[in-house]
Amino acid sequence: MAEEIINKVAQSPLVSLDLETFFPRDGVRIFDLKPYLFMELILKEKDFRASLQQTDWSVYQGKYVGITCSADAIIPVWAYMLVASYLQPVAADVIMGNEQQVTEQVLIRAIRQMDTAEFADKRVVVKGCGELPIGPSAYMEITGRLLPVVKSIMYGEPCSTVPVFKKK
């Protein structure tokens, strides 16, 4: 007679939290100032303004957009402000930085807005080793958000966790 296989992980009181669910669903878009510069080095105000007026801003509709300059050029602050003024009405949000920095900011903002009530007095496993690149700052942020409400925080998978915090 074969013994019944019992899934002890499924029966455990652990709540799994996957930070990948906070990732921007459609990724982020980057607005690079480099192609708008004269010889990709110098910002000429009149040409810059004219180029921005001719830009199709609809491609950024509802997207998280990072503003950056991949050229080693000195960009006046007002240029970033001007680009932001065009993006603000169409983009979901406008953030200074490259793709990694923007994604990190979007993750942190989403974590800060999450309702932690569902995790009250629970043992939470924050999933690690996913398919998307989640940096340490997001893990630090979720720890700070969960700490006041949970019984314990672990990192990893329900079958193999690393203890992080346990309420005394």
Cα 50 to Cα 29, 55, 81, 163: the distances in Å are 22, 9, 15, 56
For the chain, domain boundaries? 8-24+103-166, 34-98
- pLDDT tens string 62-78: 999 999 999 999 999 99
pLDDT digits (tens, 9 = 90+) for 28-52: 999 999 999 999 889 999 999 999 9
- Return the biggest CA–CA distance within the chain: 84
Q: Report the candidate in 138, 148, 161, 142 with the shortest Cα–Cα distance to residue 14.
A: 161
pTM of whole model > 0.75? Answer: yes
